[in-house]
A and B are shown apart, each in its own frame.
Chain A
């Protein structure tokens, strides 16, 4: 029951409405009436969740209407959920009105005492069903067979503009020593309606011919948050994309479908960056320098080897001459040996040979300068022969013993057999006959 109007307050002129009553008492009545509304469960989508120290505020919406909701912060924390826009939830509670005062605003809200994130279980089932369907269509394969460049020059990155994923990707690329071209495609990654925006960004990146690989990165979150990345249309877009997609979307415990269709899935955006650039550019440069040095060494060694081989060939003419010189010496030795064996009349066979050589040498000399050398060689030979002439030996006091036919005798046996000897000294010859032998020194007879 309303307080009766204090007498003497001015009403609106000609108003037929009862009152005026103090607003505070009206507000108090309203609060009591609202609180009498049946407490119910409601379901809808979350929008605009806001946390303060004591309370949590959000709106619950669907196509036909909405309610402002509030709940105690402690109760909310106990649930251990994160509310994000678009999440379907079920709340239980009842209407409430905070009447306000002269210094504070009034608020109407649906006061929530219980809350459940709707269909998270349903979500998982739906995702699993979709996973089997895409797998059966073979859509897990095409991305994985795409060639992945080891040194891409242009990389596309799909991620949220805020958030750690962006910095993590940069850190990963820096670790690889990569400083090429990066094309950022900033998209909403947190809400359910992100899927078409992410798919559009991927298509635009793929349509850019320089882009060689794309990273899709997001920090973790609950599966409800990641639901966008289980969207069927988005996953089909990824599966058939021209360029390889490296996904680092969820935590390693929450595998989203985009992880299954992508070329590679990584646990963090840093790892995704390292997968996009598989080589360490700094180390690669060092290795390349090493290869250049080894190539240089091989070519230097090959050229030295060739030079040595050529030097060896150029020594050959000298060796050729040396061989011929040795042959001439050999001939000379043979001639000397023959000279010792035969003598005929007063003239040794060697003399005859020397005379022949002299003739040949003279002949050579008259032929012209080309044969002069040959003449000198023969002259040398003649002088060598003369040095070994038996006549020289006799001049030193030796005697040559011959039989009556002139054949030289070189042993006692031969002399005894011949009996009649000619003994030739340097100044003439004598006839001699073997009569007796001197006493044998060793007693043999």
Chain B
């Protein structure tokens, strides 16, 4: 279930779930199952948003490359 899950697919699935619940066609069992799935997806999306809210991290490619090269050379 988590394979291939992306932020956009999770958001889309939450919207589908809410649409289904709003329709009033879901029975009690289905409602509770959908709510549980929806909550998990909301958690996941919140985590994804958190990952890009900690504060901008700026790196330089030339430094990254140099670090890799010295790492390799040091062996």
A interface residues with partner B (beta carbon < 8 Å): 149-153, 156, 170, 173, 177-186, 201, 204-205, 208, 281, 284-285, 288, 291-292, 294-296, 298-299, 302, 305-306
Contacts and interface: CB of A to CB of B under 8 A. Distances in A.
B1 interface: no
Contact of B65 (A149, A181, A204, A305): A204
Contact of B32 (A178, A288, A302): A302
Contact of A182 (B35, B59, B65): B59
Contacts of B52: 151-153, 178-180, 281
Given A179-B55, A281-B49, 10 more contacts: A178-B52, A179-B54, A182-B57, A184-B60, A205-B61, A294-B18, A294-B21, A295-B17, A295-B39, A302-B28
A298 B57 contact: no
Contacts of A205: 61
Contact of B56 (A152, A179, A294): A179
Contacts of B17: 295
A288 B46 contact: yes
Contacts of B49: 151, 281, 284-285, 288
B61 A204 contact: yes
Contacts of B31: 298-299, 302
Contacts, number: 97
Contacts of B8: 149-151
A369 B60 CA distance: 94
A298 B61 contact: no
A272 to B, nearest CB: 16
Nearest to B6: A149
Interface string B1-45: 000001110010011011001000000100110110011001001
A183 B42 contact: no
B58 A182 contact: yes
A294 B17 CA distance: 10
Classify chain B: how many residues form its interface, as a range: 35 or more
A325 B17 CA distance: 50
A183 B60 contact: yes
Nearest to B27: A302
A178 to B, nearest CB: 5
A178 B56 CA distance: 8
A11 B13 CA distance: 99
A287 to B, nearest CB: 8
Contacts of A288: 42, 45-46, 49
Nearest to B14: A291
Contact of B35 (A151, A185, A204, A298): A298
Nearest to A301: B31
8 contacts: A150-B7, A173-B56, A179-B54, A204-B61, A291-B38, A291-B42, A295-B21, A296-B35
B64 A183 contact: yes
Contacts of B15: 291
A208 B63 CA distance: 13
A180 B57 contact: yes
B32 A184 contact: no
Nearest to A298: B21
A180 B15 CA distance: 25
Contacts of A170: 56
Contacts of A186: 60-62
Contacts of B58: 182, 184
Contacts of B38: 291, 295
The 9 closest A-B CB pairs, nearest first, are A180-B52, A185-B61, A299-B35, A302-B31, A151-B7, A298-B21, A150-B8, A181-B57, A179-B56
B51 A153 contact: yes
A116 B58 CA distance: 43
B72 interface: no
B53 interface: yes
B59 A184 contact: yes
Nearest to A177: B53
A281 B45 contact: no
Nearest to A180: B52
A258 to B, nearest CB: 18
A20 to B, nearest CB: 57
